[in-house]
Amino acid sequence: MEAVAKLRNYPSSPRKMRLVADLVRGKDVSEALSILKFTRKHAARPLEKLLLSAIANWENKNGQSAEDGLFVKTIHVDGARTLKRFRPAPFGRAHRIRKRSNHVTMVIDVRGAATATDVAVAESETEN
């Protein structure tokens, strides 16, 4: 049974956040935590907190402590609002500065666990 955690409107560009998110996609939770702890990118700290939140959500949802079989099933980084600012430029002009932010959605699950759709497909095949 999977658990979801979301980070909304984090003030960092999606491109920088995706660099770190790609490091932990598909990894076991313990390995992902150690990767995030020792990664020297700015985006590693919020992703580490998000992973700990997802683990806590999984424990709360299932009523048991986290297993060794948990892994990062999916992680998406989507663009969020962009604040537009202006900076002075030569000859009295102005250049636009875009201050980007992002949304991160992380899903963790037990490795090898059957999803509800897998169970439904298996039941329909046995009935036929």
pLDDT at position 119 is 63
pLDDT at position 4 is 96
Among candidate residues 12, 128, 30, the one with its CA nearest the CA of residue 79: 12
pLDDT at position 66 is 75
pLDDT at position 123 is 73
Provide CB contacts within 8 A for 90, sequence distance 6+: none
CB 75 within 8 A of CB 105: yes
Give all domains of the chain, ordered by start, each with its CATH number: 3-127 (3.90.470.10)
3-state SS, residue 39? coil
- Write out pLDDT tens, residues 72-122: 999 999 999 999 999 999 999 999 999 999 999 999 999 886 655 666 666
pLDDT at position 112 is 80
- In the block, which residue shows the tokens 């009935």? 127
